[in-house]
Amino acid sequence: MKEEVAIFVYGAEQICASCVGMPSSKETFEWLDAAITRKYPNQPFTIQYIDIFNPPEEKKHQIFASRVIEEDLFYPVVTIGEEIVGEGNPKLKDIYKEMEKYGYEEVSIK
């Protein structure tokens, strides 16, 4: 593995108007954490949930949270590095593809 990936899931408690019927942002965050951990065991990464209406004090998160709101992005919005890799109903395939750019490799369990 080349570089440990930091994944951010930007969302809110209230489901976005265009995402009714989909899991909440926090449920998506928990699902992604479990799925990525299973796909890439023993390959460290961090995943953090960011509430877009109450982001942490770190400036980059405040700026991106404002962008999600101002641009009416479908949340949750999933980022890796500076890339948006999922929006609304993120696809694992897209997230895995981005992680593999950083050297993550699927581990087969037999």
Q: Is residue 49 part of a domain?
A: yes
Q: Is residue 110 part of a domain?
A: no
Q: Is residue 33 part of a domain?
A: yes
Determine how many CB atoms are found less than 10 A away from the CB of residue 12: 19
Given this model, what pLDDT does residue 22 score?
79
The residue range of the domain holding 72 is 5-101
CA 19 vs CA 2, 73, 74, 92: distances in Å? 35, 11, 7, 17
Given this model, what pLDDT does residue 106 score?
86
Q: Is residue 107 part of a domain?
A: no
Q: Is residue 65 part of a domain?
A: yes
pLDDT tens digit sequence for 62-76: 999 999 999 989 889
Q: Is residue 61 part of a domain?
A: yes
Higher pLDDT residue, 23 or 21?
23
Number of domains in the chain: 1
Q: Is residue 91 part of a domain?
A: yes
Higher pLDDT residue, 14 or 36?
36
pLDDT tens digit sequence for 55-110: 999 999 999 999 999 998 988 999 998 899 999 889 999 999 999 999 999 877 65
CATH of residue 38's domain is 3.40.30.30
Hey, which residues does 7 pair with through a beta bridge? 47, 80
